[in-house]
Chain A
Amino acid sequence: MAFLKLIMFLKDYIKDVFGAIKSLATGMKRTGYYFTHHKEIITQQYPDNRETLHLPERFKGEVVMPHDENNEHRCTGCTACELACPNGTIKVVTKFDITPDGKKKKAIDKLVYHLELCTMCNLCIEACPSDAIKMAQTFEHSVFDRAQLTKVLNKPGSKIMDGVE
């Protein structure tokens, strides 16, 4: 009886050892596969692949204000974006333009955008009633001076497009 027990013990022992070795060999087979199959490599060599690197059009990189060829934008200065922003990233500075027929009209002087505060939550773009601002796909934002991250989105001398209210 004791002998039988010993046999059973030895059998289990050897089974354990072989099972262990087999499980280790399975793992080594897998890593060995990747060692020899270099096609599976997924590294993207980032600064080198700038030309071929295309971010999806919805990527939220920074807020920009598109201008057309006549240096005109669509911003009415309604401050909806400023109100929608959770971090105080956007500050709209308004002024009063004199229209050709002599009336005073509210327009933006500057739309100040603090990139360093922005969390790219897209709420300002959602809030904008005239589609004046949008997200750009840029992402290399690092600068040496923090002041450079405070941007004025409307170009100098730009004015509002006709027909945008």
Chain B
Amino acid sequence: MYRETQIVSDVAKTPLTGEGTFTINVGPQHPATHGVLHLVITLNGETILNIEPHLGYIHRSIEKMCESLTYRQFIYVTSRMDYLSAHINNHACALCVEKGMQIEIPSRAQVIRVLMDELTRIASHELWWGAMAMDVGAFTPFFHAFRERETINDIMEETCGARLTMNYMVPGGVMYDIHPNFQKRVKDFLQLYKRKIHEYDELVTGNIIFQNRMKGVGVLTAEDVISYGCTGPVARGSGVSSDIRKLYPYEIYDKLEFDEVLETAGDSFARYLIRLREMNQSIRIVEQLIDNIPEGDFQAKTKAVLKLPKGEFYQRVETARGELGVYIVSEGGTTPYRIKFRSPGFSNLSILNHMVKGSKIGDLIAAMGTLDLVIPDIDR
């Protein structure tokens, strides 16, 4: 264990330019940034002095696009923000529109939505787990994670008609009813998951090299997390309760039994454990709901043209990465006057410099992996 505090204080004294320092561009094309993130890193040997993230390589002006689309149309675009939790993004938008129009959603639609959300969360965390292991240099877990993830994607494909950008949630419910095979396939997945989850611990969690790479690295205190506005597993890893499903329950989350996973260590390993345990909590939710999908309509009756009353509407949900807020300003027309997304990835990225200053390059990659960044979510 090297003394992190010592190094951090040394780093604070080192000037960022001049002899002994050099700058390196990590990204926009780099195997570890999982997308087109561009980090300008100032190094002293292997030690990181400063990190400056450069954004905008995948900016598609989704917020501006949404202003010219109707309330039914704009939801599909949000699948392209955080594509790994596309369902949850769509869900947030649909909820916000429903809030504005004061539509009552049938209970069947609510249950289907929550089921889809939780399956998406598991799929997202599976992918993160594989990518995390790949970031620290183990390639095999990536493929093992994809085995389970593919099963979820197949379920999605059967019910929603697409694997990644489903556009399944619409204002008033879901686009169409679940496929007749849905329940059986989800149960198959639950079995597969329970059969395979112990391999995750065998391959990665228990591995001494992995633990050494993660423990005591990228430590964030609760104060840091709050002051940078981090949410999701990053905040919970430092002991900050931030699960929107518990704090501001939406849909039927207040009736469900699940725990908010909290760790207090605040290091990379805590964030890693949080996500692994969150998968188990999601499995718990799916298990509670899969046999109890109520009969009824899957979509509330809505008008052909949706119009939100004049006013401002905000809805937050818990995506796989943290808190996603949708803020709609309506002038009473068929399109939003202004729309703003509070994406979890942006706040989580902003803490990166604080987190890994003074560490080694290898720590940067490992710690960045635990932030679970999805770059299109940051840039929008």
Contact = CB atoms under 8 A, between A and B. Distances in A.
Interface of A: 19-20, 23-24, 26-27, 29-31, 42, 55-56, 58-60, 84-86, 119-123, 126, 135
Interface of B: 69, 72-74, 76-77, 140, 147, 150, 157-162, 165, 167, 170, 175-176, 179, 199, 202-204, 206-209, 211
Given A58-B159, A120-B162, 16 more contacts: A23-B207, A23-B208, A24-B207, A29-B202, A31-B203, A55-B157, A56-B157, A58-B161, A59-B162, A84-B73, A85-B73, A86-B73, A121-B73, A121-B76, A123-B167, A126-B170
Contact of A58 (B147, B160, B167): B160
Contact of B199 (A30, A58, A119): A30
A31 B176 CA distance: 41
B162 A60 contact: yes
Contacts of A42: 147, 150
Q: Which of A19, A24, A84, A123 gathers most chain B CB within 10 Å?
A: A123
B154 to A, nearest CB: 8
B161 A59 contact: yes
B207 A58 contact: no
B73 A26 contact: no
Nearest to B77: A86
A27 B203 contact: yes
13 contacts: A19-B208, A23-B206, A27-B206, A29-B202, A30-B203, A42-B147, A58-B157, A58-B158, A58-B160, A60-B161, A119-B76, A119-B165, A135-B161
A56 B175 contact: no
A19 B199 CA distance: 18
Nearest to B154: A56
A56 B179 contact: yes
Given A26-B202, A30-B202, A86-B77, A56 B69 contact: no
Contacts of B209: 24
A56 B161 contact: yes
Nearest to B69: A86
A129 B199 CA distance: 50
Contacts, number: 70
A61 to B, nearest CB: 9
A120 B165 CA distance: 9
A58 B175 CA distance: 12
Nearest to A59: B161
A120 B161 CA distance: 9
A121 B165 CA distance: 8
Nearest to A30: B202
A59 B150 CA distance: 15
A60 B166 CA distance: 9
Nearest to A55: B157
B150 A27 contact: no
A22 to B, nearest CB: 9
Q: Which of B140, B162, B175 gathers most chain A CB within 10 Å?
A: B162
A58 B211 CA distance: 44
A26 B162 contact: no
Contact of B208 (A24, A29, A84, A121): A24
B158 A56 contact: yes
Contacts of B207: 23-24, 26-27
Closest 10 CB pairs of A and B: A86-B73, A121-B76, A20-B208, A58-B161, A56-B158, A60-B161, A121-B167, A23-B208, A30-B202, A26-B202
Nearest to B66: A86
Contacts of A56: 157-158, 161, 179
A34 B175 CA distance: 40
Nearest to B143: A42
A30 B157 CA distance: 30
Contacts of B76: 86, 119, 121, 123
Contacts of B208: 19-20, 23-24
